């Protein structure tokens, strides 16, 4: 095998494939990165850990097609630190030589014949713009659980009905959900699956925003999902598809609705959080025309700040963990945020107020339901 490739596309492709390499592989070959050069000028790099596979394709000048397996993390470190010059890669005996300008490295190959067959994704279900998909995933994944003993809660639930897609995460104390429009291959397509949140977040972030994202899914009895775009692709095993009926919990009867400028609200919460201990909430008191934020760390420090706010309905006196509020507000990409409450002990709903409220698109599709902390005084 022998090929030449520009350093930057090689570095991006290697970094993508390396994302799946396990830190402690069950088999030595799983620490390897598969490199395949074809006579049509295609260069593919791949990694696989039996749960997730990642493949990147780029163009190269292929002098001798071939297929080898090399230590993946080491290759990623080497390529990341190469000078900005064309990179020559070729096999020499039991080594793969990486040469770039004056730098040359030799990597001992792993037995490629022992490498497992990479899974093939299911059939194409549809596409969605890359920037829309990345934004939607980023809005919901902060609410995913971190407890691996409850695998369902560590995933992103994807529900599809025709041209509508919902993404949702919950850790039992909050629910983040986003509704968006996509382009299905079949207008009658429906599906409901749970994808590991970390895998989907890494994938959505790494695919170029100007590329369409293709979702590969059959919708019935799936064990695998494929996500691809811009020469990058991944497959992931699905988690148990059992999930709470989150959509029914995102509607309710609210006795109070407050509207506040998003950016100043975020900054005020961050300032108030400076005096909070772990587990200490921030208290929000909404009255006509303002919201007052208060927090304290025992008797040693306190914070008190007021912002302008619009309130409809009853006065609100409610408390939340500061990070839970900040995670929700991070998903609000409009000038104003809306907080709807039904009492100090009931879940409150945070949404984005569209910048153009006269537009027929009166909903950004983002919902963030969060449980308050019970006030003791």
The domain spans of the chain are 2-114, 124-248, 251-370
SS3 of the chain: CEEEECHHHHHHHHHHHHCCCCCCCCCHHHHEEEEEECCCCEEEEEEECCCEEEEEEEECEEEECEEEEEEHHHHHHHHHCCCCCCEEEEEECCEEEEEECCEEEEEECECHHHCCCCCCCCCEEEEEEHHHHHHHHHHHHHHCCCCCCCHHHHEEEEEEECCEEEEEEECCCEEEEEEEECEECCCCCEEEEEEEHHHHHHHHHHCCCCCEEEEECCCCCCCEEEEEECCEEEEEECECCCCCCHHHHCCCCCCEEEEEEHHHHHHHHHHHHCCCCCCCCEEEEEECCEEEEEEEECCCEEEEEEEECEEEECCEEEEECHHHHHHHHHCCCCCEEEEEECCCCCCEEEEEECCCCCCCCCCCCEEEEECCCCCCC
- What is the pLDDT at residue 147? 87
Model pTM?
Answer: 0.90
The architecture in CATH of the region 2-114 reads Roll (3.10)
- CATH number for the 251-370 domain, one of 3.10.20.600, 3.10.150.10, 2.70.98.10, 3.90.480.20? 3.10.150.10
- What is the pLDDT at residue 184? 97
- What is the pLDDT at residue 362? 54
Averaged pLDDT, groups of 10, the chain, 377 residues long: 96 94 90 96 95 95 97 96 96 96 96 94 95 96 91 94 97 96 95 94 88 90 90 93 89 94 97 89 95 88 95 95 96 96 95 76 84 83
- What is the pLDDT at residue 336? 97
User: Do the two domains 2-114 and 124-248 of this chain adopt the same fold?
Assistant: yes
Fold of 124-248: DNA Polymerase III; Chain A, domain 2 (3.10.150)
């Amino acid at each position: 095998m022998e090929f030449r490739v520009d350093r930057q596309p090689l570095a991006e492709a290697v970094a993508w494939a390396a994302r799946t390499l396990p830190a402690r592989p069950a088999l030595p070959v799983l620490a390897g990165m598969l490199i395949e050069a074809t006579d049509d000028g295609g260069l593919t790099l791949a990694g696989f850990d039996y749960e997730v596979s990642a493949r990147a394709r780029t163009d190269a000048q292929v002098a001798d097609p071939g297929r080898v397996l090399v230590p993946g993390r080491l290759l990623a470190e080497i390529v990341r630190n190469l000078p900005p010059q064309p990179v020559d890669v070729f096999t020499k005996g039991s080594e793969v030589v990486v040469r770039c300008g004056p730098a040359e490295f030799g990597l001992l190959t792993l037995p490629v014949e022992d490498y497992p067959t990479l899974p093939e994704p299911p059939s194409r279900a549809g596409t969605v713009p890359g920037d829309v998909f990345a934004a939607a995933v980023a809005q919901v994944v902060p609410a995913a659980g971190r407890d691996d003993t409850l695998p369902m809660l560590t995933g992103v639930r994807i529900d599809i009905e025709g041209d509508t897609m919902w993404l949702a995460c919950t850790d039992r104390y909050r629910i983040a959900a986003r509704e968006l429009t996509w382009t299905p291959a079949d207008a009658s397509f429906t599906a409901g699956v749970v994808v590991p949140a970390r895998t989907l977040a890494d994938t959505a972030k790494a695919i170029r925003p100007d590329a369409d994202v293709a979702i590969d899914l059959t919708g019935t009895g799936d064990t695998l999902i494929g996500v691809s775009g811009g020469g990058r692709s991944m497959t992931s095993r699905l988690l148990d598809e059992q999930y709470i009926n989150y959509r029914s919990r995102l509607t309710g009867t609210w006795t109070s609705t407050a509207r506040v400028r998003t950016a100043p609200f975020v900054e005020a919460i961050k300032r108030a959080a400076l005096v909070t201990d772990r587990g200490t909430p921030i208290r929000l008191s909404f009255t006509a025309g303002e919201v007052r934020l208060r927090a304290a760390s025992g008797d040693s420090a306190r914070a008190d700040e007021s912002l302008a706010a619009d309130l409809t309905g009853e006065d609100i006196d409610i408390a939340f963990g500061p990070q839970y509020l900040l995670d929700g507000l991070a998903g609000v990409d409009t000038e104003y945020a809306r907080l709807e409450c039904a009492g100090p002990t009931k879940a409150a709903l945070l949404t984005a107020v569209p910048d153009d409220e006269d537009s027929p698109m009166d909903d950004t599709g983002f919902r963030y339901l969060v449980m308050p902390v019970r006030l003791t005084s």
